[in-house]
Amino acid sequence: MKSLNKYIPVLESTGLKYEIIVVIDGEDGTENLLNGIKNLSYYKPLMRLGKGGAVKRGFLLAKYSYMGYVDADGSLSAKDFENLLSSMKTNCCTIASRYLKNSKWINKEPLFNRISSRGFNFLVNALFRLHVKDTQCGAKFFNKKVIDKILPAVYVRNRTFDVSILYHVKRAGYKINEVPVTWNHDKNSNMPIKAAIIPMFVTILAIKIMNSRIKEYVPKFLYKVVSKFNFY
């Protein structure tokens, strides 16, 4: 709710039509908190989708010219949310970044998380040449025409979804615009960084292989192995 309380006034101030789609990927009673909120609908699938699967389902349900997603913990300020929306006037893809020159931290993530993040980002840029400082920051916006074009090629359902979608954005010829933000890390965040390292590493290698010339020579059972990593 704290995220909605921050961001809904910003959406209202734009004077544009908007919708908020909440894809509930779990059993934590989120739907009980959403009744009566203006322009909000929620979707609760019959089975777990993973982060990427949930975002993809939200994109498929969205109807307006711009769409995006933000972390539910409210780490992004209302002002930065407004800046990201404003940048969509001249960009097809805009993402928040915690690691640009003008980015700031209010509460930093634990040291292990930051080291893991920088190592992962180095590997992603080495493999995909995205030239992006922060693929995993939880705020990204896209023009609907971009999403409609690339979404059928995005299969990743775990937290490496961000890499997959940015890779396909660039592959389709669109520019990725990074915007510095002031990030307030939620100390109560329960993201299992240590448990996610191996699944995310394996998944980015799978993304590389599935979009290369050698994909036809990869045994099919390896794709089933990767599919087990959907929920990190």
How remote is the C-alpha of 89 from its chain's centroid?
20
Residue 11: DSSP 8-state: H
Which has more confidence, 212 or 26? 212
What pTM did the predictor assign?
0.90
Sheet holding 139-143, edge to edge: 66-70, 139-143, 93-97, 177-180
Distance CA 18, CA 202 (A): 37
Q: Within the chain, what is the greatest distance between any pair of CA atoms?
A: 53
Which has more confidence, 215 or 93? 93
What average pLDDT is seen over the chain? 88
**The pLDDT value given to residue 188:** 67
Distance CA 152, CA 141 (A): 18
> Taking residues 128-146, what's their average pLDDT?
95
pLDDT at 2 over 60: yes
